[in-house]
Every structure is written in C-alpha cells, then in structure tokens.
Amino acid sequence: QVQLQESGPGLVKPSETLSLTCSVSGDSIRSYYWSWIRQPPGKGLEWIGYIYDGGKTNYNPSLESRVTISLDMSKNQFSLNLRSVTAADTAVFYCARQGGNYADTVFDSWGQGTLVTVSS
C-alpha cells in the first residue's frame, strides 16, 4: 500500500521560496502522476500541479509562474517549490498520487498534509 509523507519548513518569510518534499513508499514514482494540492485554513482544496513520466509537469494556470515540481528518483521523492510567497499562500500542503488504482484524474492516495505559514 502506497504511503506519502510531506516534509519541509513550517514557516516561510514573505517573498521567499516555499520548498516541500514528498517521500513515497510502497510504490515507485516512475509510475503514475504525483501531485501537490493545498488548502488554506478553513477553505477548500486547490490543485497546484503534477509531475509524471520522469519529469513532465502540468501546473495550475493560476500558479504556473511561481511553481516548480521536480523528481528525485534515487530517493523516490518529489518536491514543490513555490516562489515569491505571500500570506495568501499560507495553507496545508498535501502530496497525492494521481491515477493509481483508478482513473488517471483521481487522487487516490494522500499524505497527511503539512501546514506552511507565510509570515515575517
């Protein structure tokens, strides 16, 4: 059974870069799509983007100019960089597998989430 675990700083200063890593166990990141999703406190879910097939990416158009998702196959991890953050980027960030046991548009396995606060 696949397991995902987010890690990274819980506090980032405005204008800096938010960096998170998702460690995957029980499955290889060489298969499927691997997504980042965020949820501001008390609000809904927002898809950030995914990476697949060794490095191909697709990003939410609203965030595309500030986002980079990358893979480290040697560690079975994928990462998120979100540049020039503001307080509006404060959220719980989830990593998720997409297209695992079901259709390739389905997020079928999620990490527990990590709260990142943007504040000076």
Contacts with other proteins, residue ranges (CB under 8 A): 35, 37, 44-47, 49-50, 58-62, 94, 101-103, 105-108, 110-113
Positive or negative, the CA dihedral 85, 76, 110, 61 is positive
Nearer to other proteins, 14 or 64 (CB): 64
Minimal distance, residue 16 CB to other proteins, in Å:
26
Phi, psi of 102 (to 5 degrees): -130, -155
**Cβ contact 21:111 at 8 Å:** no
Q: Least CB distance from residue 40 to other proteins, whole Å?
A: 12
Q: How far is the CB of 48 from other proteins (least distance, A)?
A: 9
Amino acid at 72: D
Closer residue to other proteins, CB minimum distance, 16 or 57: 57
Q: Smallest gap, in angstroms, from Cβ of residue 95 to other proteins?
A: 10
Beta-sheet pairing, 56-59 with 3-7: unpaired
Nearer to other proteins, 32 or 107 (CB): 107
Q: How many residues does the chain have?
A: 120
- CA 66 centroid distance within chain: 13
Q: Based on CB atoms, which residue is closest to other proteins, 47 or 79?
A: 47
Cα–Cα distance, 37 to 73 (Å, whole number): 21
